Structure 1
Amino acid sequence: MRAPEWLTARPVAHRGLHDRARGIVENMPGAALAAIEGNFAIECDIQLTADGEAMVHHDDALGRLTEGSGALLGLSSSALKDVRFKDTSERMMSLADLCILARGRVPIVVEVKSHFDGDRRLVTRMAEVLKSYSGPVAGMSFDPDQVVALRDIIPDLPRGIVAQSDYTEADWPEASPSQRNGMRHLKHALRTRPQFVAYWVNDLPAPAPWIARHIFGLPLLTWTVRTSEQRARAARYADQMIFEGFRP
C-alpha cells in the first residue's frame, strides 16, 4: 500500500496550530481546532498512561506546558484529563477525544512516542481508538520497533518513520547504542517498511531520504519548519512540511 495523496496535500501543523501569544498551547484542543479552522492537517504526539490510554502530549512528564508533575506512564488517564495547560482553562485530551474533535475534517498525523523498550500497548490502544474513526489518519514514530508495531497491529494505516541523520546518547538516552545505530540512514527500512518518511529539515538534503523519495517513491515530509530558509529548503527537497510559528 502506498501512502495516500492526502498526506502531502496540505501543510501539517506541528502539534496543532499553536500560538502561546494567543493562549494556544501545543497539543491542546484549541491548537487542534485552530488547525481545522485553517484547513491544515494536524500532527500530534501520543503518550501511554498507567491504564493503557493514549493521551495527546509530547513530553513524557508533566510540568513544561502543564500544571502538575509526574510521568504520564505513572498516571491514569482520568487524572491526566484533569490536568490543565498553563495559563489556560484547557485540559489534556486523549486520542479518542481528538478524533471526536476532528470529525474527519482534516488529516491527523499521529507520532507514537516511545521509551525504546518494545512496549506495544500504545499502538494497541491507538488501533482500538481508530477502529471507530473514519477520518484520514497516519501513524509514525522515531522508534523503528513502533513502526513495526504499526505495521503488525494496524496494517491498513499509512505508517512512516520520523528520522534525522544522527542520534546521540545525550538526545536519545533511552535508546541503546545498537538502537541508535540502527536508526541512522534508514537502515531499518526493510524491517519497518515505512510508506512515508518525515525527516528533520536541517538535515536535508541527505542520501537516505533522497533514496526513499526518488528511488522507492515514498512521500517525504520534513519537520519542523519555522523559518523562511527552512521553508525554502522544504519546498526544494520535500513533498510537504510540518510547520509551526507561522501560517503558510
Structure 2
Amino acid sequence: MKTLYAHRGMSAIAPENTLAAFSLCAEHGLKWVECDVDILADGTIVLCHDDTLDRCTDHSGSLYDFTREDLEDIDAGSWFGDEFIGEKLPTFDQFITLMNILKLNANVEIKACTNSWENTEKLISGVIEGLKNLNKEANVLISCFNPLVLAEFKRRCPDVPVACLFDKEMPEDWLSIMQACKSDTIHVANEGLTKAKVEEFKDLGLEVNVYTVNSLMRANQLFNWGVDGVFTDIGHQFPSRYRQS
C-alpha cells in the first residue's frame, strides 16, 4: 500500500497547518497527515512551519515572542479565504485531540528552534508529552532536518519511529547520519530524485518518502520506482486507490 501524506493538511484547499486543513483530510479519505511543530515563548507547542507569523497569519513577528494567550487574537485563515476567517493557529494538544476523533495518523516534523537549543529541548519535551494523549491505535512518525534534534528525540523515545529529512543536496555522510539517528525511514526532496537513487535507498532496506509531489504523473512514476509514500498538497485529486473512504 502506497501512502499519501497530506502535506500540512489539505493545504491546497485550506490554510496550512490548521484544524480545518486536517479535518478535510478525513473527508477526502487520507489517513496520514504531515504537520510542523514549534514552540511559543511560554512553552506552548503549536503547529506552524515558519518561525514567524508573517506568511500564514494576520500578525507579524517571531513565534518565540507570543504566548498561548495571544492565540485568541491570531487569525491563521483569513489570508487563504473568507470561509476560513477566524481559523486559529492550533496547539499540538488540539491537533492530537483531532487525530483521535478522526482516527488520523501523523508525520510530525519538529522544527529546530532558531533561537536556542534550550528551546529546542523544551519543544522535544512538549511533543513527547502531547503524544502521550494519542490513541494507541494511531501511527506516528517523527521527522526533522536537524539530526541532533532527531537523535535526541530518539534517545528519549526509542520506540517511536523517526525519519531523517534531507534537502535536495544531500550530504555525503547521509547514511551515517541516519544510523546515528537510528532511522529506517528517509524523507527526500522530489526535485532531481532519480530512479537509481531510489533503488540505492531501497537496497539498503529503507522506507522512502518524497516531498512535495503535486503532480499525479510524477507520483505515479515515483511509486513505480518503489517509493513508499509521497507528501502532497493535492491529496483530494489522487485516484481512489490511493485513498480510503
TM-score normalised by length of structure 1:
0.81
SS at match of 1:230: helix
Q: What is aligned with 1:131?
A: 132
- The residue correspondences of 1:167-186 to structure 2 (distance < 5 A) are 185-186=174-175
Q: 2:63 aligns with which of 64, 67, 72?
A: 72
Q: 1:223 aligns with which of 208, 211, 214?
A: 211
Give identity over the alignment, percent: 21
For 1:107 and 1:137, the matched residues in 2 are separated by: 6
Structure 1, 204-213 or 73-82: larger mean CA deviation: 204-213
Deviation at 1:111, TM superposition (A): 0.5
For 2:200 and 2:53, the matched residues in 1 are separated by: 39
SS at match of 2:94: helix
Moved beyond 6 Å, runs of 4+: none
Gaps of 5+ in 1: 1-7, 168-180
Structure 1, 236-245 or 206-215: larger mean CA deviation: 206-215
Number of matched pairs: 223
SS at match of 1:26: coil
Gaps of 5+ in 2: 79-84, 239-245
For 1:132 and 1:223, the matched residues in 2 are separated by: 28
Does 2:158 align with 1:155?
Answer: yes
For 2:42 and 2:196, the matched residues in 1 are separated by: 41
1:37 is aligned with what amino acid? E
Higher relative contact order (CA 8 A, sep 6+): 2
Q: What is aligned with 1:235?
A: 223
- Deviations 1:37-95 (CA, angstroms, capped at 9, x unpaired): 22211100001111122100111101211011111112112313531124222111011
SS at match of 1:139: strand
Does 2:143 align with 1:140?
Answer: yes
Deviation at 1:230, TM superposition (A): 2.6
- The residue correspondences of 1:207-218 to structure 2 (distance < 5 A) are 210-215=199-204, 217-218=205-206
Q: What is aligned with 2:243?
A: none
SS at match of 2:109: strand
Does 2:8 align with 1:15?
Answer: yes
Change (3 A) 1:235 1:63: same
Cα RMSD for the two superposed structures: 2.2
Q: 1:194 aligns with which of 183, 186, 205?
A: 183
